[in-house]
């Protein structure tokens, strides 16, 4: 083989160039710790790495979702815990009060306590988490229960016996028993009507009350409809003449229709409770036989349950609708109504009502515990998924690292090898440069 | 005495050839020259000394051809690797930024929205992430386009260089032929120069060289049936870059003003540039377009089904897919046609639970023709032909294509090319401006807390999209892998071509390169021969002196 001068130099230079670029690559890998930093370093790995990145980011996001849900569920659980405590307190009071030895003063004090508990539970039901009401379904910007001191329960009517007897009105004893006078306020106009003495059926009393009220209101161009819905009397204060059909069968609070101011003044908590006499207009208004009917609080939210995404396709429901928890929408107990009924029973000394309250509170406790169990199961599920995901993420990270990261020992030894190769070619090249030619010997 | 004189002359000449060799020890492409001596004889049969039979270059002609093609590959893969490295840099996701990351962030924002559908921060972030995702696709598309444009302008400037080289070679052809005709001897140095220029030319454009015995050289380029003579003897053809009507903004290469050789150039830097500009980058851009079009379509379809906080529904989140149909160049009509994805058709039998509505096929190309007052749509891959199903609006329900004639009129026989995804990446944008209108709830009654639609939108991240046959990110990872593969292949090709070129150069050097040792040896041997010849003359002189002296 002939060897020309240029061959020697070119092959030397080429060797230097290749070894230097190999060393640079090895150095890059060691200093970045990554084997693949461009797709062309290893296209198959690059594709896998992107996929692992996606999986990791999704898991991270799902964990984030889980955490948000956990916060929410914990807030729900602590609210329910509070509710349960309050209900247990009421249950204990109900048992105490069922003792016939208790006098009306004791009952009045407890009645005030029950009112406070009612307020307390309303506050708990209106708990918000991060500015959102947790018991409103999807109506997260509406408080599920309207917390208003003037309006702590909605009267939906009284259970009437088949026939009702109304005694003659005694003007000498307007605040006493035996009068059948009611005050009605409609659109700011207050009238007083006196019911006629007599015996009425449900339809008849409704009709009679309506006639009386409308007679009194006729000069103001106002009117109400009083319907007898089986076992219940309804008043419609909004029934303007001509719009009598458009009534809703609810009465929006004492602020618009005021009943019975005369016969039922704001109770003096320490005054002795008079058992209602038969024929008292109060019977019409709900206290007959202790079967007064309160709706409790009106639920203003909706029944929706929103969910969160905890993995690709797994959804975990997040919220509990207040209607279910507090109103017993699913064959449960209306906690607010039970409390109001209990309070009234206490005020009236209605032992049957107190007995009902004991069983109501038992059911309410069960109801709230049931909901708490639901929350607990959801939390466990979140926790399980989170743990599962954590171990999966660790595994994916390992896979990713296998594809992406260098084995440092291997990479460093590789780098040293490359370095040696470069040093070797440098020294060979230096030798070539110093290699004597024939010229050296031709002196 | 005459023998000595011839010896002196011949060796003096040999020494000058050797000096020429030594002087050119570092000249690239230089072929060493060799002196061939031959004895001179008298007709009667005894020798009369030496003369130089020939001074020749030591060249391996077979190797010359290989070196040319080696240079061509080197040029081609150099161009390809340089530009592909730039393409790869557009997809920098492995270093933590890029389209994949943007898709991820966008869907993460939707997940957050589903956790808090009334959150104004969450909503604003969804909008912003949508914008930066759009921006990322627009930018990537723009960068790819810039690479195409750079390739194009390099093509244009290389054409000038090729013309200059061709002219020089043609001139050299002439010089070589005429001087060889006069002198009768091979013009080694001119030939070396020509070889050097040919090497340079072949690095830019793939060529084949045919050398006739007369010294005439023909250079042809192109492949298959489309070959063109670039240089024929002393005539050089002129290449020019002219605007290509089929590729707006890009040039095609024509020879002598008429023959288009753009896609028949088989090798060299030009081939690399053209392939990148017309095949590789358009393919990658097309795939980005498909990704963008299906992302826009899938997301908008789901978004339309939900309700914004303000009760709005059927709103588009991204600006909907809208493309211009490309009219055929032979169209006589002036119509400009816009194409959109048509609404989901009503199922033929509403009670059929198995009915699946047709999906638009991003990635397919169609030809729309207007014949005898009717529109026909032909799928260019399958050849299937269909007619509009809703006549008055020109909707092809199965293809989900809706035609809208923007302006102008149609003439019988007009044709248009339609690809629903064409240009979608470059045109991607968020249309929604009010974050309250992001539809997180799937029913109006669920407002404001409803998050069902937000969850469905977030779940699109893991949906196998029919027109991509993958998830969005899966498709993108595939594209990235494909580009990585291509870069790797081209780098491998480049290093093979580089090694090959080095090897061929070494082989050439082995045969034609100058070895100083050898030249020194020759120099000494010629010097000795020269000295001996001189001695011969002195000896002859002395002999003569002796003879003359005898007389005295």
Q: Is the pLDDT of residue A175 over 90?
A: no
Contacts of A315 in chain B (CB under 8 A): 455
Query: What residue of B is the nearest CA neighbor of A46?
Result: B481
Mean pLDDT of chain A: 73
**pLDDT score at A148:** 53
Contact of B477 with chain A, judged by CB distance below 8 Å, is answered with: yes
Query: What residue of A is the nearest CA neighbor of B505?
Result: A7
CB B366 within 8 A of CB B417: yes
Query: Å from A308 to nearest chain B CA?
Result: 7
Which two three-digit tokens encode residue B458?
Answer: 């977030």
**pLDDT score at B175:** 87
Contact of A443 with chain B, judged by CB distance below 8 Å, is answered with: no
Helix-, strand-, coil-residue percentages of chain A, each rounded to 5: 55, 10, 35
Q: Which one of B106, B476, B481 makes the best mutation probe of the A interface by having the most chain A beta carbons within 10 Å?
A: B481
**pLDDT score at A228:** 54
Q: How far apart are CA B365 and CA B371, in angstroms?
A: 19
Q: Is the pLDDT of residue B256 over 80?
A: yes
**pLDDT score at A160:** 41
The stretch A6-13 carries a mean pLDDT of 82
Band of pLDDT at residue A116, cut at 50, 70 and 90: confident
Q: How far apart are CA A239 and CA A257, in angstroms?
A: 12
The answer for B 79-138 residues in CB contact with A (under 8 A) is 84, 88, 91, 93-95, 100, 104, 107-108, 111-112, 114-118
Q: Is the pLDDT of residue A245 over 80?
A: no
Q: Is the pLDDT of residue B542 over 50?
A: yes
Query: Å from A401 to nearest chain B CA?
Result: 13
Q: Which of A9-13, A264-268, A413-417, B189-193 has the highest mean pLDDT?
A: A413-417
**pLDDT score at B80:** 92
Given the structure tokens 């309207």, which residue do they identify? A146
Q: Tell if the CB–CB gap between A137 and B448 is shorter than 8 Å.
A: no
Q: How far apart are CA A19 and CA A424, in angstroms?
A: 10
Which two three-digit tokens encode residue A22?
Answer: 């190999």
Q: Is the pLDDT of residue B358 over 90?
A: no
**pLDDT score at A296:** 59
Band of pLDDT at residue B387, cut at 50, 70 and 90: confident
Q: How far apart are CA A267 and CA A1, in angstroms?
A: 125
Q: Is the pLDDT of residue B144 over 90?
A: yes
Task: Report the first-to-last Cα separation within chain A, whole angstroms.
Answer: 27
**pLDDT score at A71:** 92
Q: Is the pLDDT of residue A11 over 50?
A: yes
Q: Tell if the CB–CB gap between A68 and B116 is shorter than 8 Å.
A: yes
CB A134 within 8 A of CB A321: no
The stretch A30-40 carries a mean pLDDT of 86
CB B444 within 8 A of CB A139: no
Give percent of chain B with pLDDT exceeding 90. Answer: 39
The stretch A96-114 carries a mean pLDDT of 85
Q: Which one of A9, A42, A50 makes the best mutation probe of the B interface by having the most chain B beta carbons within 10 Å?
A: A50
Which two three-digit tokens encode residue B88?
Answer: 């790869």
Which two three-digit tokens encode residue A123?
Answer: 């506050």
More confident residue, A186 or B421: B421
The beta-carbon neighbor of A138 closest among B450, B473, B511 is B450
Q: Tell if the CB–CB gap between A2 and B511 is shorter than 8 Å.
A: yes
Q: In sequence order, what are the beta bridge partners of B290?
A: none
pLDDT tens digit sequence for A326-348: 888 777 888 888 888 888 778 76
The stretch A384-400 carries a mean pLDDT of 90
Q: Is the pLDDT of residue A240 over 50?
A: no
Give percent of chain A with pLDDT exceeding 90. Answer: 17
The stretch B410-425 carries a mean pLDDT of 89
Query: Å from B498 to nearest chain A CA?
Result: 10
Contacts of A57 in chain B (CB under 8 A): 104, 108
Give percent of chain B with pLDDT exceeding 70. Answer: 98
Band of pLDDT at residue B408, cut at 50, 70 and 90: confident
Which two three-digit tokens encode residue B40?
Answer: 């001179």
Query: Å from B542 to nearest chain A CA?
Result: 32
The stretch B199-225 carries a mean pLDDT of 84
Kindly state the DSSP code that residue A405 receives in the 8-state scheme.
Answer: B
Going from the C-alpha of A101 to that of each of A97, A98, A105, A107, A351, the distances in angstroms are 8, 9, 11, 11, 11
- ipTM of this predicted structure: 0.78
Q: Is the pLDDT of residue B177 over 80?
A: yes
DSSP A163-197: EEEEPPP-TT-TTSTT--EEEEEETTEEEEEEPPS
Q: Is the pLDDT of residue B516 over 80?
A: yes
The stretch B432-459 carries a mean pLDDT of 90
Band of pLDDT at residue A297, cut at 50, 70 and 90: low
Query: Å from A2 to nearest chain B CA?
Result: 5
Q: Is the pLDDT of residue A94 over 50?
A: yes
More confident residue, B173 or A268: B173
Q: How far apart are CA B318 and CA B427, in angstroms?
A: 10
Q: Is the pLDDT of residue A15 over 80?
A: yes
pLDDT tens digit sequence for B323-356: 888 888 888 888 888 898 888 887 777 788 788 8
Q: Is the pLDDT of residue A151 over 60?
A: no
HSE (CB half, 13 Å, CA atoms) of B503? Answer: 10
Q: Tell if the CB–CB gap between B484 and A437 is shorter than 8 Å.
A: no
Contacts of B108 in chain A (CB under 8 A): 57, 61, 64
Query: Å from A16 to nearest chain B CA?
Result: 14
Q: Which one of B477, B482, B487, B491 makes the best mutation probe of the A interface by having the most chain A beta carbons within 10 Å?
A: B477
Task: Please tell me whether the peptide bond between A167 and the residue prior to it is cis, using omega within 30 degrees of 0.
Answer: no
In 3D, which of B461, B438, B454 has the Cα closest to residue B315? B438
The beta-carbon neighbor of A40 closest among B459, B488, B506 is B488
Q: Is the pLDDT of residue A259 over 90?
A: no
In 3D, which of B228, B224, B226 has the Cα closest to residue B240? B228
Q: Tell if the CB–CB gap between B100 and A50 is shorter than 8 Å.
A: yes
Q: Is the pLDDT of residue A313 over 70?
A: yes
CA A6 to chain centre: 85
More confident residue, A240 or A234: A234
Band of pLDDT at residue B445, cut at 50, 70 and 90: confident
Contacts of B482 in chain A (CB under 8 A): 43
Which two three-digit tokens encode residue B204?
Answer: 């830019």
Q: Tell if the CB–CB gap between A307 and B487 is shorter than 8 Å.
A: no
Band of pLDDT at residue A154, cut at 50, 70 and 90: very low
Q: Tell if the CB–CB gap between B514 and A4 is shorter than 8 Å.
A: yes
CB A314 within 8 A of CB A302: no
Q: Which one of A17, A54, A59, A432 makes the best mutation probe of the B interface by having the most chain B beta carbons within 10 Å?
A: A54
The answer for B 443-472 residues in CB contact with A (under 8 A) is 445-452, 455, 458-459, 461-462
Contact of A43 with chain B, judged by CB distance below 8 Å, is answered with: yes
Query: Å from B517 to nearest chain A CA?
Result: 6
Poorest-pLDDT segment among A170-184, B17-31, B409-423: A170-184
Contacts of B25 in chain A (CB under 8 A): 4-6
Poorest-pLDDT segment among A173-187, A275-289, B70-84, B467-481: A275-289
The answer for B 2-41 residues in CB contact with A (under 8 A) is 25-26, 32
Contact of A302 with chain B, judged by CB distance below 8 Å, is answered with: yes
In sequence order, the 6+-apart residues with CB closer than 8 A to the CB of A55 are A396
Contacts of B451 in chain A (CB under 8 A): 306-308
pLDDT tens digit sequence for B260-270: 888 888 889 99
Going from the C-alpha of B472 to that of each of A312, A345, A384, B104, B453, the distances in angstroms are 15, 66, 29, 10, 19
The beta-carbon neighbor of B510 closest among A4, A36, A304 is A4
**pLDDT score at A300:** 82
The stretch A8-37 carries a mean pLDDT of 86
Total-model pTM: 0.77
**SS3 for B322?**
strand
Band of pLDDT at residue A183, cut at 50, 70 and 90: low
**pLDDT score at A265:** 34
Number of A to B CB contacts under 8 A, please give it.
183
In sequence order, the 6+-apart residues with CB closer than 8 A to the CB of B305 are B313, B314, B439, B442, B453, B456
**pLDDT score at B276:** 93
Which two three-digit tokens encode residue B61?
Answer: 């002609």
CA A379 to chain centre: 14
Query: What residue of A is the nearest CA neighbor of B30?
Result: A6
Q: Is the pLDDT of residue B59 over 50?
A: yes
The stretch B123-152 carries a mean pLDDT of 94
**pLDDT score at B352:** 80
**pLDDT score at A330:** 73
Contact of B192 with chain A, judged by CB distance below 8 Å, is answered with: no
Which run of H or of E encompasses B396? strand B395-396
Q: Is the pLDDT of residue A156 over 50?
A: no
In 3D, which of B174, B175, B254, B245 has the Cα closest to residue B221? B254
């Amino acid at each position: 083989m002939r060897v020309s001068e240029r061959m020697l130099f070119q092959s030397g230079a080429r060797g230097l160039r290749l070894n230097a670029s190999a060393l640079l690559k090895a150095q890059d890998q060691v200093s970045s710790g990554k084997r693949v930093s461009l797709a062309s370093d290893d296209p198959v790995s690059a594709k896998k790495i992107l996929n692992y990145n996606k999986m990791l980011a999704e898991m991270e996001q799902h964990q984030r979702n889980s955490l948000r849900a956990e916060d929410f569920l914990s807030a729900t659980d602590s609210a329910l815990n509070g509710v349960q405590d309050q209900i247990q307190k009421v249950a204990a009071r109900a048992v105490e009060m069922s003792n016939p030895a208790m006098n009306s003063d004791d009952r009045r004090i407890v009645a005030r306590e029950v009112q406070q508990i009612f307020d307390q539970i309303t506050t708990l039901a209106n708990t918000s988490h991060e500015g959102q009401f947790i018991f409103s379904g999807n109506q997260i910007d509406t408080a599920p229960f309207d917390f208003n001191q003037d309006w702590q329960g909605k009267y939906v009517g009284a259970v009437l016996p088949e026939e009702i007897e109304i005694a003659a009105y005694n003007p000498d004893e307007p605040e006493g028993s035996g009068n059948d006078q009611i005050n009605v306020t409609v659109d700011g106009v207050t009238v007083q009507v006196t019911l006629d003495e007599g015996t009425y059926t449900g339809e008849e009393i409704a009709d009679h009350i309506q006639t009386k009220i409308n007679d009194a209101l006729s000069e103001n161009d106002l009117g109400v409809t009083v319907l007898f819905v089986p076992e219940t009397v309804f008043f419609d204060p909004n029934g303007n003449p001509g719009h009598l059909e458009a009534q809703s069968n609810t009465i929006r609070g004492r602020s618009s229709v005021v009943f019975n101011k005369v016969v039922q003044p704001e109770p003096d908590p320490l005054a002795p409770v008079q058992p209602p006499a038969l024929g008292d207009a109060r019977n019409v208004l709900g206290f007959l036989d202790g079967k007064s009917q309160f709706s409790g609080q009106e639920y203003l939210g909706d029944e929706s349950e929103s969910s969160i995404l905890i993995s690709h396709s797994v959804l975990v429901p997040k919220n509990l609708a207040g209607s279910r928890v507090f109103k017993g929408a699913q064959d449960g107990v209306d906690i607010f109504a039970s409390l109001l009924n209990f309070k009234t029973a206490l005020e009236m000394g209605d032992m049957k009502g107190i007995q009902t309250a004991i069983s109501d509170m038992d059911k309410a406790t069960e109801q709230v515990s049931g909901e708490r169990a639901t929350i607990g199961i959801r939390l466990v599920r979140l926790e399980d998924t989170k743990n599962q995901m954590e171990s999966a993420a660790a595994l994916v990270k390992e896979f990713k690292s296998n594809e992406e990261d260098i084995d440092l020992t291997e990479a460093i030894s590789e780098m040293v090898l490359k370095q040696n190769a470069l040093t070797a070619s440098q020294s060979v090249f230096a030798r070539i440069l110093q290699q004597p030619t024939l010229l050296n010997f031709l002196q | 005495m005459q023998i000595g004189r011839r010896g002196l002359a011949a060796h003096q000449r040999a020494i000058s050839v050797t000096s020429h060799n030594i002087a050119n020890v570092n000249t690239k492409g230089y072929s060493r020259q060799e002196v061939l001596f031959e004895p001179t004889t008298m007709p009667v049969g005894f020798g009369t000394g030496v003369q130089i039979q020939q001074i020749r270059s030591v060249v391996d002609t077979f190797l010359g051809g290989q070196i040319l093609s080696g240079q061509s590959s080197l040029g081609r893969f150099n161009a390809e690797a340089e530009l592909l490295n730039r393409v790869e840099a557009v997809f920098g996701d492995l270093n933590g930024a890029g389209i994949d990351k943007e898709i991820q962030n966008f869907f993460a924002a939707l997940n957050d929205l589903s956790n808090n559908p009334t959150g104004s921060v969450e909503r604003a972030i969804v909008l912003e992430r949508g914008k930066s995702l759009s921006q990322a696709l627009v930018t990537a598309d723009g960068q790819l386009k810039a690479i195409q444009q750079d390739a194009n302008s390099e093509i244009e400037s290389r054409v000038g260089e090729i013309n200059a080289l061709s002219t020089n070679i043609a001139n050299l052809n002439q010089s070589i032929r005429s001087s060889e005709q006069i002198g009768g001897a091979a013009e080694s140095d001119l030939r070396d120069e020509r070889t050097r220029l040919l090497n340079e030319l072949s690095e830019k454009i793939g060529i084949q060289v045919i050398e006739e015995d007369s010294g005439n050289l023909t250079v042809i380029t192109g492949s298959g049936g489309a070959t063109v003579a670039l240089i024929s003897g002393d005539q050089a053809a002129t290449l020019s870059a002219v605007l290509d009507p089929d590729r707006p903004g890009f040039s095609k290469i024509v020879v002598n003003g008429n023959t288009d050789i753009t896609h028949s150039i088989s090798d060299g830097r030009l081939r690399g540039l053209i392939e990148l500009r017309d095949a590789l980058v358009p393919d990658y851009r097309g795939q980005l377009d498909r990704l963008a079009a299906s992302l826009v379509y899938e997301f908008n379809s789901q978004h339309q089904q939900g309700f914004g906080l303000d009760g709005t529904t059927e709103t588009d989140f991204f600006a909907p897919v809208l493309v211009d149909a490309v009219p055929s160049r032979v169209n006589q009509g002036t119509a400009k046609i816009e194409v959109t994805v048509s609404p989901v058709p009503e199922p033929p039998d509403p009670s059929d639970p198995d009915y699946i509505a047709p999906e638009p096929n991003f990635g397919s190309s169609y030809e729309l023709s207007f014949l005898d007052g009717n529109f026909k749509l032909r799928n260019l891959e399958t050849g299937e032909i269909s007619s509009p199903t809703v006549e008055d609006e020109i909707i092809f329900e199965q293809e989900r294509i809706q035609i809208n004639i923007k302006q102008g009129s149609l003439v019988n026989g007009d044709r248009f090319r339609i690809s629903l995804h064409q240009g979608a990446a470059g045109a991607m944008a968020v249309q929604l401006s009010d974050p309250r209108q992001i539809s997180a709830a799937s029913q109006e009654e669920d407002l404001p807390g409803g998050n069902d639609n937000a969850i469905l939108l977030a779940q699109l991240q893991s949906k196998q999209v029919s027109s991509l046959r993958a998830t969005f990110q899966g498709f993108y990872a595939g594209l990235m892998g494909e580009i990585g593969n291509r870069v790797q292949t081209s780098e491998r090709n480049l290093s093979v071509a580089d090694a090959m070129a080095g090897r061929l150069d070494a082989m050439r050097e082995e045969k034609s390169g100058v070895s100083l040792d050898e030249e020194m040896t020759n120099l000494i041997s010629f010097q000795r021969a020269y000295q001996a010849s001189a001695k011969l003359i002195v000896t002859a002189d002395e002999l003569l002196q002796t003879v003359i002296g005898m007389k005295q």
